[in-house]
Amino acid sequence: MRTISMLALLLMAPAHAADSIELNPSAVYRTGTGQVQTAPWWVAFNDPQLTAVMENVLANNPDVARIQDLFHIQQGVELQTFSPLLPMASFEAGVNTGPYTASMCTSVASNTALANFDPAVLLTNPGAFGQVFAPDPNAPELCNTGSGLLVSSWGLDVFGRQTLAWRGSSYERQAAKGDAEATRLVMTTAAAAAYYDVVLANAQLTLLAGQVTAQEALLELVTLRYEAGGASGLDVLQQQQLLATTKAALPSVTAFRERRARQLTAMLGEVGAEPDVVGALPEPTSLPQTGVPVDLLANRPDIRAVDARMSGAAANRTSAQLGLLPSLRASGQAGWAGLWIDGDFNSGPAWGAGLNLSVPLFNGGALHGRIRTVRASESLAIHTYNSTVINAVAEVESALSLDEQQGIRHQAVLEQERAAKAAFDESKDRYLAGLDSYLSVLTAERAHQSAELAVLQAKRDAVGARIQLHDALGGAWVRDETLGGVR
């Protein structure tokens, strides 16, 4: 009873898979229009050093190479899946030896004697016919045989089951290519982030070094005024404290730079030498052409991958269902066969042909279990596709919003820095003229130096937002056309 219940459960597979999402072709993003660019996304930054880094990442990064190897593995799997659709042929040759009495030699000898038997002998010797099949007392001990045959067979894919299995494998190969291209995109955007973090750290170190120099000069001036009685000892101590605070920031920035430089070097598949980087963060550029949401279906490699897997799952499901139908296989062989008896060699042509029909009747529920599995796999692939598409559109919208807001923030911080510099210059002049206390100079100096660092960080954040937008758009500009052929 339990076995029957289990079989019934296996047969109760869902009638159909879930529905895949469809994007409205007329839908647009909140901002950004135009056709999607086809050039490498990093070209927009107009940075030769960055371009060199990207090319080295694509050529030498181990993760990129690893995922490309997985693609080539899937190419081999696809070829294996296609092979049953073609006829199979082999040449088979062999020799055998064995006891004469338990071999085909006895049959050959009997057939030869029968062929040479004269029925007229029965008129004078009625028992002569029985002697034809009697064991030969002079027969040799061994029987030697040999053959050489060309054997062929062809599974006739009458209902298309194997064709659909091959198509499913072909879709998986396309998905593997999408995975490889998605890895290329991830690695290039990650390398660009590390690259511009190094540029930011270099700029921060240069700025901090300049601030230390300016603070030392101001400390010297305050000390001279203190010695002349024009400033208090507290003024000197406060300036010394600010100078020490600025110097204390240098090690953390240096450590950050070293960490990101090492990570960038690792992404290049190298150990040791750092790549060359540009001297300053890039200036803001115009918004890239984003296209419309439906373009993501063709331009994002992760969507292409899940779309291929969804199509492959549908093909595998149909192939599994067709496994319930009969299968037909044709076979044939042709060649020669011979045997040696007492030094005599006898050979002749040998051939045969056949057609085999296999009708599945009962296999313990294995076929129905496979159907249930592939149906669930198809539903999983569709849900994964839907989730990827929905998240992709949301990522682009979020990236567009972030890019816009970071641009606004960058401009606001620039205004803040200009105002802070003007306030610092004015407070310093008033202090030197004896019109204001050193406290106003110290406050303005701190505000100005914080604003200078904020400008660098805001510019780096704007660059990061633009990189994130390129990543969200995915795109044909990271496709690897070399993945099309078999290696």
In the prediction, which pLDDT does 14 show? 47
The amino acid sitting at 119 is P
What whole-number distance in Å separates Cα of residue 11 and Cα of residue 360? Answer: 16
Every domain of the chain and the residues it spans: 14-86+158-323+369-484, 91-106+140-153
Helix or strand (DSSP H, E) at 92: strand 88-99
Other beta carbons less than 10 A from residue 446's beta carbon:
15
What whole-number distance in Å separates Cα of residue 104 and Cα of residue 445? Answer: 109
pTM of the model: 0.81
Among 330, 361, 372, CA closest to 12 = 372
Are 275 and 56 in contact by the 8 Å Cβ rule? The answer is yes
The amino acid sitting at 386 is N
In the prediction, which pLDDT does 9 show? 38
Q: What's the Cα-to-Cα distance from 167 to each of 161, 216, 471, rounded to whole Å?
A: 10, 73, 30
- Classify residue 311 as exposed, middle or buried by CB count within 10 Å of its CB (0-12, 13-18, 19+): buried
pLDDT in tens, the chain (487 residues): 444 444 443 444 444 556 888 888 888 887 766 666 677 888 888 899 999 999 999 999 999 999 999 999 999 999 999 999 999 999 988 887 777 665 556 665 555 554 555 565 545 556 555 555 555 566 666 777 788 889 999 989 889 999 999 999 999 999 999 999 999 999 999 999 999 999 999 999 999 999 999 999 999 999 998 988 888 899 999 999 999 999 999 999 999 999 999 999 999 988 877 888 888 999 888 888 888 899 899 889 999 999 999 999 999 999 999 989 999 999 989 888 877 665 666 677 888 899 999 898 888 888 889 999 999 999 999 999 999 999 999 999 999 999 999 999 999 999 999 999 999 999 989 988 888 888 898 999 999 999 999 999 999 999 999 999 999 998 545 566 555 543 3
Q: What share of the chain is helix, strand, coil (3-state, %, to 5)?
A: 65, 10, 25
Are 375 and 316 in contact by the 8 Å Cβ rule? The answer is no
In the prediction, which pLDDT does 62 show? 92
What whole-number distance in Å separates Cα of residue 108 and Cα of residue 338? Answer: 11
The amino acid sitting at 202 is N
Give me the helix-helix angle, 161-227 and 48-60, nearest 10°.
140
In the prediction, which pLDDT does 107 show? 62
Among 354, 323, 312, CA closest to 157 = 323
In the prediction, which pLDDT does 150 show? 92
Are 150 and 273 in contact by the 8 Å Cβ rule? The answer is no
Tokens of 195: 């690259």
Task: Note the helical H segments in 291-365.
Answer: 296-299, 301-322
Partners of residue 305 on adjacent β-strands: none
What whole-number distance in Å separates Cα of residue 48 and Cα of residue 106? Answer: 86
Among 460, 451, 442, 457, CA closest to 418 = 451
Using the structure block, give the residue that is written with the tokens 């690893």.
66
Tokens of 119: 């029925």
Tokens of 206: 């240069």
The DSSP call for residue 160 is: S
**CATH no. for 14-86+158-323+369-484:** 1.20.1600.10
Other beta carbons less than 10 A from residue 3's beta carbon:
9
What whole-number distance in Å separates Cα of residue 313 and Cα of residue 4? Answer: 29
Other beta carbons less than 10 A from residue 217's beta carbon:
10
Other beta carbons less than 10 A from residue 143's beta carbon:
22
Partners of residue 23 on adjacent β-strands: none
Are 474 and 183 in contact by the 8 Å Cβ rule? The answer is no
In the prediction, which pLDDT does 460 show? 96
Other beta carbons less than 10 A from residue 198's beta carbon:
22
